[in-house]
Structure 1
Amino acid sequence: MFAYIPFLFLAVVNAYSDPGPCTGNCWTHDPVSDGKYFRFATGGGIHVSSADALEGPWTETGFALPSGSKINHPGNDNLWAPDVHYNKGQYYMYYSVSTLGSQDSVIGVATSRDMEAGSWNDHGSTGLSSTSATPWNAIDANWIEINGTQYINFGSYWQNLFQAGEQNGLKVKVGSAHNIAYNSTGPSNEHRMEASFMVEHDGWYYLFFSVGLADHYDTRPPAPGEEYHIDVCRSNSGTGGFVDRTGRSCTDGGGTVVLQSHGNVYAPGGQGVMNDSTRGLVLYYQWVNKTIGVTTDKFQFG
């Protein structure tokens, strides 16, 4: 399922586009197009699915790294949060190695020539990690190139979203991490901001991120409005100075709502933006279908 965003900074409450049609295995997110579409999903490892059209039908073809990661770290057999991009003849996939709720995390990277399941070469750690002594949590990586320089945006909870420079697509530049979005409200590990995704459009860099509680909807549902939703800030540099539509700094709790719960769509988040050859800019995301039941295993990409 997909939703169009004709202007990336527009948010109209109670006027959200509903997700479009999807057939086949549609339970997750992260589509990438290369003649055909690929989708990489979290769930007991990184699942690979493909389709000839964005609407599907989607067919799961296996795992990107069937044996897990070579990184010697808890969670290396249950990789999270894949982010895939193409650069200079090959595809790069960043992934997270961690356990649920932990700040003890590592971001790894693998490469492939064609994105097919089993074709990925694991390069191990990018050098980006976190412990209880760091202000960030090293998960949810997202790559972008700004004026010829590569960066990884990352972070979840704690002090929220950070950016680090890269040397060659495989390793981060030591000491380059800096904060790009932060909401200081609440306990240090419950700031509820994560899953950054940055895209350039018309000379601006848009930083999308998920805000709110992402899970346990079936056992501990949050108060209305505290569930996942998608916000955005923008900057003309891409490396800092992000503000929302009102001019509030993204490092001071700023964020313009792009998409939130509406109708049967509950808790949209885990978003990304792609430039589709026929549709233009497309926002994709996961959500809970309230007609099926508010359960964590009914996520679909949008």
Structure 2
Amino acid sequence: MRRLSRLVVAAASACTLVGALVGAALAYPNPGLVTGDVVVHDPTMIRTSSGGYVVYSTHGYLEARTSTDRITFTRAGSAFGSPPSWWRTYSSGNDPWAPDISQQSGRYLMYYAVSGFGSNFSAIGLATSSTGQPGSWSDQGVVYSTTTSSDHNAIDPNLLVDASGRWWLSFGSYWTGIRMIRLDPATGKRLSSDQTLYHLATRPDAPYAVEAPDIVRHGGYYYLFASYDRCCAGTSSTYKVKVGRSAAPTGPYVDRSGTSMLSGGGTMVLETHGSVIGPGGQSVLSDVDGDLLVYHYYDGNAGGTPKLGINLIGWDSAGWPYVY
């Protein structure tokens, strides 16, 4: 009987171990099926009024890809046919980055950054469109900028409209991390009556590698998704997506354990697994079948080529997001 009991215990332990390994393997799903032209960095996606999808991404005057089914994507030009004159001040190659698209009061808005890699001599611009389609955008100029003497960086913008209808722009990369300003809904630019520069997230360890904020409202909280660690290094990338939440748009944001995102906190949402390397540069879209995490990753099966990733977001019983 003792031998049988030992066998039963051993079998149960083995099953527990296998279950743990399987659970770990399933902790992060692979990206959902996407095909066609899906080589992107820093994607933002919208479902237009006509029911189709447009993805905009870094480079090429803000590269555009369209889809009718959220699976097959086709390259469709760029947001801009030619660069606004002010871009060259911040980028000798007229190279815009990290767009953020949304639809507000019947028009489409796109915030984006112009900078040089590793520099905080940067600016965030705004463009508007009546359709959201490639080539339809009108530039509205600079919204916010930083210089090499600034302690933060004006890239990776994201618009939040809070529960009271107030507009906020979060942004930031390295230096002191994620910052936020309040915007005027009438212009989409900084609100003159509130010049506060809010601080949302940073790292306690140099080089303070947190960037690409995206804030969404769910239930009674605001959730700050951000990318941590090293981007843009192919299979050597260590990018990952973390999240914190707050009852107010300006923070404080804390992770599941209660650690502030101003102290390096952040609950993991997605990180390297298998051939999916360095996922990040994320945005969140609410679609007809739920919330989506839209991001890029480096494909270990394709020499580290950056590709579009899309996963549905679930919300657990405690209100924390996960991807599936």
Sort the TM-score into its range (normalised by shorter chain): 0.7 to 0.9
2:109–2:129 contact (8 Å) kept in structure 1:
yes
Q: How many residues align?
A: 277
Q: Which amino acid aligns with 2:300?
A: K
Partner residue, 2:287: 276
Partner residue, 2:117: 100
Q: Which amino acid aligns with 1:291?
A: N
Partner residue, 1:24: 36
Match of 1:61 among 66, 71, 76: 76
1:30–1:301 contact (8 Å) kept in structure 2:
no
**2:203 equivalent to 1:183:** yes
Q: Name the CA distance, whole Å, in 2 between partners of 1:292 and 1:117.
A: 28
**Tell me, which stretches of 5 or more residues in structure 1 are unaligned?**
1-11
Aligned-residue RMSD, C-alpha: 1.6
Give the share of equivalent positions with the same residue, in percent.
34
Structure 1 residue 149: Cα displacement: 0.5
Q: Which has the higher contact order (CA 8 A, sep 6+)?
A: 1
TM-score (norm 2): 0.82
Structure 1 residue 67: Cα displacement: 1.0
**2:52 equivalent to 1:36:** yes
Higher helix share: 2
- 1:49-84 Cα shifts (integer Å, max 9, x gaps): 1111111x2111111112112325132721111101
- 1:214-244 Cα shifts (integer Å, max 9, x gaps): 02336xx36xxxx000000000112111000
TM-score (norm 1): 0.88
Q: Name the CA distance, whole Å, in 2 between partners of 1:145 and 1:298.
A: 30
Structure 1 residue 89: Cα displacement: 1.6
Q: Name the CA distance, whole Å, in 2 between partners of 1:61 and 1:37.
A: 11
Q: Name the CA distance, whole Å, in 1 between partners of 2:208 and 2:97.
A: 20
Which one has the largest radius of gyration? 2
Structure 1 residue 43: Cα displacement: 2.0
Partner residue, 2:240: 229
Q: Name the CA distance, whole Å, in 2 between partners of 1:70 and 1:87.
A: 26
Partner residue, 2:139: 122
Q: Name the CA distance, whole Å, in 2 between partners of 1:13 and 1:132.
A: 43
Secondary structure at the residue paired with 1:251? helix
Secondary structure at the residue paired with 2:301? coil
Match of 1:285 among 260, 283, 295: 295
After TM superposition, what 4+ stretches of structure 1 lie above 3 angstroms from structure 2? Answer: none
**Tell me, which stretches of 5 or more residues in structure 2 are unaligned?**
1-22, 311-324
Q: Name the CA distance, whole Å, in 1 between partners of 2:300 and 2:278.
A: 10
Q: Name the CA distance, whole Å, in 2 between partners of 1:200 and 1:137.
A: 24
